[in-house]
Structure 1
Amino acid sequence: MGSMPTAGNGADNGTQSKDVLVKVSPYMVIPSRVGGFSLYLKQDGKLVLYAEKGELFTDEHKQRLALLGVEHLYVRGTDYASFATYLQDNILDLLEDESIPVGERARAWNDATVSVAREAFDRSLPSPIDKRQFKRIRKLIADSLKFLARDDALKELARFIRDGDEQFRHGIAVMVLTVTTLCSFIKEDSDLLVSVGMGAILHDIGKLELPQEIFTKKFDNLSRADKDLVKSHPALGVSLCSSLPLPQETLQCILFHHEREDGTGYPSGSTGAMLPSYVKVLSLCNLYDNLTRGREGRRMTPYEALTHIKSLRSAFDKDMLRRLITVLAKADLTS
């Protein structure tokens, strides 16, 4: 088979055209799992079929890849949705497999999460998020908790989650930061962590109901009417999710992610005494990611963003800020 156009790492390419091959890791071949996609490898500069769609993967497949020293496999763009579903369905096995380098597990997690989050935030669909997508998001977060609690996970994940202007990428990053920070002091309550993780990844979904051009400008430069529109997105988010069986903690995260410790936030102006600790962590991680992603103007370094947040004095819970800084420092992400 002759060479074909190739793309970079899977989930970053969006919808793939049929003549594109997407680079994937050979570690993603899980023995005893059937792939709903064909796999290709590169030999002597040419791409050749390695495994046919629907073929059962075996230990022999994995051993052969190791002997050949294969660094990358390829999936057709038209098969990428099936590959992403395969990752989502098997992510727990992948994340718990200590024979797979942590960086490769982080890459698999990112590809699976980007795929499901992109679909949930797809404005071309009749509903931004339906029950099927909700179940996939919930399962993925539940399967990810143990991995996100690792001291070395955030450093590896940071390579994948820090870039991109799309709402769903911001949601993924805020979810990772929020759950990772919560894991530093919540050890046993996995139901709470999953509920908050869902709220974090969906916190900005209400923005899909608003004119997108208002989000290309700095908030301070908007007219009063446009500022009021922006401030309506938490309530719109809760409304969009009203048909889903969301727990109270998830709804609180969506509704209160712009509240502040000193009562200067919106939509309710609640003070710290009225806000659960997980909402305080989420609101903090939301601003931090906005600043370091450049969504609030100039893209700040982590150090600059944390310095700016500290300068806001009473706006954020000091203990939660200290916990976030500790988590970022362990991942070597504070400079």
Structure 2
Amino acid sequence: MLFPEALGDFSVYLWQGGDFVLYTASGQKFTTRHRQVLHKNGVNEVYVQGSEKPLYEKYIERNLGSILLDESMPIEVRTKVFYEASTLVVQDVFDRKLPSGLRARHFDRITNIVKNSIKFLADEKSLAAVAPFISHDYKTYTHCMHVFIYSVAVFHTYEMTESEVFEFGLGALLHDVGKAKIPKRILNKRGPLTQAEREIIKEHPVHGVSMCAHLPMTQNTINCILFHHETLDGSGYPAGLMGDNLPQAVRVITLADIYDALTTNRPYAEAMEPYEALSLIRNDMRENIDMAVFKRFVAVLSGADII
């Protein structure tokens, strides 16, 4: 995945004659001619040293927008790059840069993921192509990625502006950022939580907003982080909002959050099949979620052959 005129801080190697041969050195531009020579000689794979893998990952992150818009590249390849590169960024930020707070430079990396991918996720083919990469093992950073993917796909079915999709998408990706403040012994506990532990878990939306208070977020984004556990009947948290007080985009994120949690393996429950999870939501959560949003959600998943 190399781009003409983009400078790489890593060396590129070819596999020839049973050995690795240097093709372009670190700091050298990979030109159009380089790519033409590779194609002419039927070379489809190049290699970088394991020690330079982090530099290559940063290169992919910088060029992600160009990758996703390059329709000459198979959608399966673009989707793989999108999911792996985005997940690496979210994992790096969530696992290594928190819980002290979300710093501006890491926030910029997150916003770039959102900006570069919201148009790509508007296409049903993109959602269908990303489905095989969605992990069924629950981790906070992969869960946030999945909720972002599902939510943005549904946002595109509404008459939202591009800026609104960005703001809500950013909220979806960061909706559980406050869990960085929750002790791992509680997050990863096997078996039922005590009442005291449940109350601690319920603090994560407020923690999330607090961690992002110094960042340039709109109210739309803040609402997604703060209210994604509110329900239509007022039984949610942290504010007990209900009915029309819940923004439509938040209702989408809430549903995506529930669906992904049900379809991934958690410490206290095995993953459900998509149809089983949707049936549970439809039959047992009708008072909690917006059924009009639910119908759109099901239509989006069906269009992408996920169910």
Pair in the same fold by TM > 0.5: yes
Q: Which amino acid is 2:48 matched to?
A: V
Shift of 1:231: 0.5
1:248 is aligned to 219
Higher relative contact order (CA 8 A, sep 6+): 2
Give me the whole-angstrom Cα distance separating, in 2, the residues matched to 1:184 and 1:260.
22
Say if 2:136 and 2:263, in contact at 8 Å, map to a contact too.
no
1:13 is aligned to none
Match of 2:72 among 90, 93, 99: 99
**Cα separation, partners in 2 of 1:80 and 1:274, compared to 1, 3 Å:** same
Tell me how many residue pairs correspond in the alignment. Answer: 305
Shift of 1:123: 4.2
Match of 1:172 among 145, 161, 169: 145
Give me the whole-angstrom Cα distance separating, in 2, the residues matched to 1:329 and 1:112.
26
1:87 is aligned to 60
Give me the whole-angstrom Cα distance separating, in 2, the residues matched to 1:277 and 1:41.
51
Give me the whole-angstrom Cα distance separating, in 2, the residues matched to 1:305 and 1:53.
49
| Range moving further from structure 2, 107-116 or 205-214 | 107-116
Give me the whole-angstrom Cα distance separating, in 1, the residues matched to 2:140 and 2:45.
29
2:194 is aligned to 223
**Cα separation, partners in 2 of 1:253 and 1:176, compared to 1, 3 Å:** same
Q: Does 1:318 align with 2:302?
A: no
Give me the whole-angstrom Cα distance separating, in 1, the residues matched to 2:24 and 2:92.
27
Match of 2:274 among 302, 307, 317: 302
**Cα separation, partners in 2 of 1:71 and 1:301, compared to 1, 3 Å:** farther
Q: Does 1:259 align with 2:230?
A: yes
Match of 1:119 among 92, 97, 112: 92
Give me the whole-angstrom Cα distance separating, in 2, the residues matched to 1:71 and 1:213.
46
Runs of 5+ consecutive residues of structure 1 not aligned to the other structure: 1-27
Give me the whole-angstrom Cα distance separating, in 2, the residues matched to 1:139 and 1:123.
18
Give me the whole-angstrom Cα distance separating, in 1, the residues matched to 2:2 and 2:116.
18
Helix, strand or coil at the partner of 2:124: coil
Shift of 1:210: 1.4
TM-score by length of 1: 0.86
* Counterparts of residues 53-68 of structure 1 (less than 5 Å): 53-68=26-41
Deviation readout 1:227-280 (Å, 9 max, x if unpaired): 100011110111111121111111111111111122221111211311111000
Helix, strand or coil at the partner of 1:42: strand
Give me the whole-angstrom Cα distance separating, in 1, the residues matched to 2:139 and 2:22.
34
Root mean square deviation, CA, Å: 1.9
| Range moving further from structure 2, 301-310 or 116-125 | 116-125
* Counterparts of residues 124-163 of structure 1 (less than 5 Å): 127-163=100-136
Q: Does 1:49 align with 2:31?
A: no
Shift of 1:207: 1.0
Shift of 1:79: 2.0
Give me the whole-angstrom Cα distance separating, in 1, the residues matched to 2:49 and 2:99.
27
Deviation readout 1:44-100 (Å, 9 max, x if unpaired): 553333321111111122223323433433333332222222222222211111110
1:4 is aligned to none
Helix, strand or coil at the partner of 2:15: strand
Helix, strand or coil at the partner of 1:108: helix
2:204 is aligned to 233
TM-score by length of 2: 0.93
Give me the whole-angstrom Cα distance separating, in 2, the residues matched to 1:307 and 1:68.
53
1:207 is aligned to 179
Deviation readout 1:129-176 (Å, 9 max, x if unpaired): 210111122122112121110120011112223344321111111101
Deviation readout 1:188-218 (Å, 9 max, x if unpaired): x111111111111111111111111212236
Runs of 5+ consecutive residues of structure 2 not aligned to the other structure: none
- The share of aligned pairs that are identical, in percent, is 38
Say if 1:39 and 1:73, in contact at 8 Å, map to a contact too.
yes
Helix, strand or coil at the partner of 1:178: helix
Match of 2:166 among 194, 198, 201: 194
1:10 is aligned to none
Deviation readout 1:1-48 (Å, 9 max, x if unpaired): xxxxxxxxxxxxxxxxxxxxxxxxxxx211111111122333355333
**Cα separation, partners in 2 of 1:198 and 1:124, compared to 1, 3 Å:** closer
Helix, strand or coil at the partner of 2:90: helix
